[in-house]
Amino acid sequence: MKKRFIAVAMLAIVLLPGCKKVYDYIEIYPAADIKICPIMKIISVGQYGSADTLIFKYNSWGDPVSVSHSSGPSTGRPDYVFKYNRQGKLSELLGVYYMYGTTNDGIFMEYWHKYFYDGTGKIALDSTYIWPYFQNGVLIDYYGGKMTFYTYDNKERIIKDSTIWTEGHLGGGTGKLISVTVSNYAYDANGNKVGGSYDQKTSFLRTNKIWMFLHRDYSLNNPFTAESYNSNGLPTSLNLSVKRGGSNFLDVYFNLAQITYGCR
């Protein structure tokens, strides 16, 4: 624990002077994150005028423990609960609607991710249950499920995920295999994921490794040009063209957004 604290403190010293050093650091370490600038709130407006606010909470190590919608969760946009193992590594991600009542032993969730690590400390397998049902704390069944296996490059970026989709038995399913999908990701010489058009500022996903992992995107820059950025080069105000498409973050699609960080 002491070594980890020292490492975080040294990183903060390296990054604090300004955005140039932040950018230089992540250019050298493409999978590194900038925990001194955590996302605290995102106020967004979607293509059809739907407004939403995401509120973020973190643990003492700077990793997210929850992301909640100010207006409450709904189908397709649940609140998020993050759980960690004794080593401080992400072990579970719950997409929840509420954490009380009687459904699913008091937790009504849209999906439940469980993460398993390889010998190098990277997530090798993501086991996901969609609409899981529990009794006495034990998973009984689910509507759908999938297992995703990850392949990384020598810079610890995901370059391939392979997913096996299955049916559960709830809702009339038979438990059979549905399909197998494979997605590949590549990065250009600028350190950005191939297929996008980027600015020259620091990607807001880089504020935490978990955001990069969930979005399969370790790009150095943002796939859009923001109206304003803070002193660390992170986007703070977005006004994205409807024709060109907006941005998506944690199941929230938006064209207009104000992003607040724990740094200036």
What is the C-alpha separation between 145 and 133, in angstroms, rounded?
12
- Beta strands 228-229 and 235-239 are antiparallel
DSSP letters spanning 104-172: GGG-EEEEEEEEEE-TTSSEEEEEEEES-EEETTEEEE-SEEEEEEEEE-TTS-EEEEEEEEEE-SGGG
pLDDT of residue 18: 52
Digit-by-digit pLDDT tens for the chain (264 residues) are: 444 433 443 344 344 445 556 666 677 777 788 899 999 999 988 766 678 899 999 999 999 999 999 878 888 889 999 999 999 999 999 999 865 444 445 568 899 999 999 999 999 999 999 999 888 778 888 889 999 999 999 999 999 999 999 998 877 778 788 899 999 999 999 999 999 899 999 999 999 999 999 999 999 999 999 999 999 899 999 998 754 556 788 888 888 899 999 987
pLDDT of residue 19: 57
Alpha carbon 226 to chain centroid distance? 20
pLDDT of residue 20: 57
Residue 55: CB atoms within 10 Å: 15
pLDDT of residue 185: 97
pLDDT of residue 117: 97
